[in-house]
């Protein structure tokens, strides 16, 4: 798993690649928590390079959404591959975490 982040038009964008599984999710969780601790106005996760999302990865998304909601940070995910999006939707996460087809769509909705 690789992560990087940058600001674009006032939005924190965190790019994640590889597998978000039981091995990598805790590391990503710490990174996400640290970056959300800086209280950006908006945080968008770029999942276009995520190839696997496990329940551990979903737990990290849930924690990120919870922190974001408490701090008033807009939070969303974009660019999921079909298999990853299926897991996201089947778990019901699409009901409380906004998800977008691509970065342009995500930025337009913020």
Q: Per CATH, which fold does 2-109 belong to?
A: Transcription Regulator spoIIAA (3.30.750)
pLDDT per residue rounded down to tens, the chain (110 residues): 999 999 998 899 999 999 999 999 999 999 999 999 999 999 999 999 999 999 999 999 999 999 999 999 999 999 999 999 999 999 999 999 999 999 999 998 85
CA dihedral for 63, 67, 69, 73, sign (positive or negative): negative
Distances (CA, A) of 70 to 8, 52, 63, 79, 86: 23, 28, 11, 25, 27
Phi first, then psi: give them for residue 104, nearest 5 degrees.
-60, -45
DSSP state of 54: -
Q: Compute the distance between CA of residue 18 and CA of residue 77 in angstroms, rounded to an integer.
A: 15
């Amino acid at each position: 798993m690789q992560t990087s982040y940058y600001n674009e038009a006032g939005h924190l964008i965190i790019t994640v690649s590889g597998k978000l599984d039981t091995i990598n999710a805790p590391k990503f969780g710490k990174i996400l928590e640290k970056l959300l601790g800086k209280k950006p106005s908006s945080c968008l996760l770029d999942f276009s390079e995520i190839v696997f999302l496990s329940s551990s990865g979903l737990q990290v998304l849930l924690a990120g959404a919870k922190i974001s909601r408490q701090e008033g940070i807009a939070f969303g995910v974009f660019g999921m591959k079909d298999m990853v999006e299926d897991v996201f939707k089947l778990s019901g996460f699409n009901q409380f975490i906004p998800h977008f087809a691509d970065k342009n769509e995500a930025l337009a909705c913020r």
